[in-house]
Amino acid sequence: MISAGEFVQKSLGLHLFFLRIMKEHSIFLEAGFVPKDQALAWSAEMFKNEFNQLLEQAVELANDNVSGEVLGSGEVVTVNTVAAEEKTKELTGIDIDLALSKKELRLRPGRGNPSLEAKIERFNLIAMQQTKSLIDFKTLLLEKILECNLFAFNFPLLIEHLREEAMFYLERLEKLQERRKTAPRQKIIEEKVFWDHIMAEHAMFISHLLDPSEKTLITQADNFARVFTQLEQQVKRLEKTGKANRMLRELFNEELKATRDIRDFKSKGGQLILACQVRSIINPLLADHVLREANHFLNELEHLKV
Ligand SMILES: [Fe+2]
Ligand SMILES: [Fe+2]
């Protein structure tokens, strides 16, 4: 069982990362519809607003109640988030709350205040409910696209990917609500299987959203896709065979290196996109978003003991 303080701190850390992720998924969906599907774009806009409100509340609660590791990892906001939001707002016409991101840059760390336990428990329930609705929306879109009843400028695999991330958030919250502590080995394996898969898909998306003339970047992205697909398969094999922790440790070191490399690649790519030096259909906020997801995974890896 985790303590009340830990429950508060872990819940808020998770929300700061994932509520923003959910809000941005809504923005990416909204930006991908054609004029005919204005009603779907409105639904996405509503999700964006609702997640923005939840994030606002989480930010209020998080001051002095969230770990320094989370705040320092670059998973909540990066140095480029505000600029990426500003540019994406200008390019898409979608309203984005820049003031909230600036507020997040000023958040102070602290141990979770145990007296907030009941309040956080209620907040978690609301976030879970809202995330379930977003999962349903993503499922609806995916089905329509796969049945060829909807055309959107988001790949089906991307929508599936956004849905998987929402489901992962939901599972994490369900576990937290039960105050359950996962065994370290199990936790490492679960996180690795999930995030290896996510990192591999990011690399594939980057490769496909770059202009075909960007050959060097495409090759680099394809290499990352290969590396993370292999890492995912290796850890799955290890999980099946129950092999020794020594092997997990070796794999873990490979993982750290690969994740730092993809983090650097995304960080550089994001800066180039912001500086208008890459030909692509990647909006600056998407570039910053996938960087934050790599930062989150790296933070998890760096603080897990094998
Ligand atoms: Fe995402
Ligand atoms: Fe992602």
Walk along the chain (306 residues) in steps of 10 and give the mean pLDDT of each run.
Answer: 95 98 98 98 98 98 97 97 98 98 97 97 98 98 98 98 98 95 80 94 98 98 98 87 75 93 98 98 98 96 77
Residue 251's pLDDT is what?
A: 86
- Name residue 280's beta-bridge partners: 210
How much distance in Å is there from the Cα of 216 to the middle of ligand 2? 22
pLDDT value of position 243:
66
210 bridge partner residues: 280
Rounded CA-CA distance 305/24 in Å is: 31
Ligand nearest to the backbone CA of 294: 2
Percent composition of the chain: helix, strand, coil (DSSP 3-state, to 5): 80, 0, 20
Ligand 2 centre and the CA of 141: distance in Å? 17
Residue type, 163: R
In this structure, which ligand is nearest to the CA of 195?
A: 2
Say what the pLDDT of residue 244 is: 66
What architecture does CATH give domain 182-306? Up-down Bundle (1.20)
CA of 160 to the centre of ligand 1 (A): 11
- Give the residue from 259, 261, 213, 266 showing the smallest Cα distance to 232: 259
The domain ranges of the chain are 1-154, 182-306
Alpha carbon of 135 to ligand 2 centroid (Å): 14
152 φ, ψ (degrees, to nearest 5) = -145, 155
Cα-to-centroid distance, 218 and ligand 2 (Å): 18
CA of 243 relative to ligand 1 center, distance in Å: 32
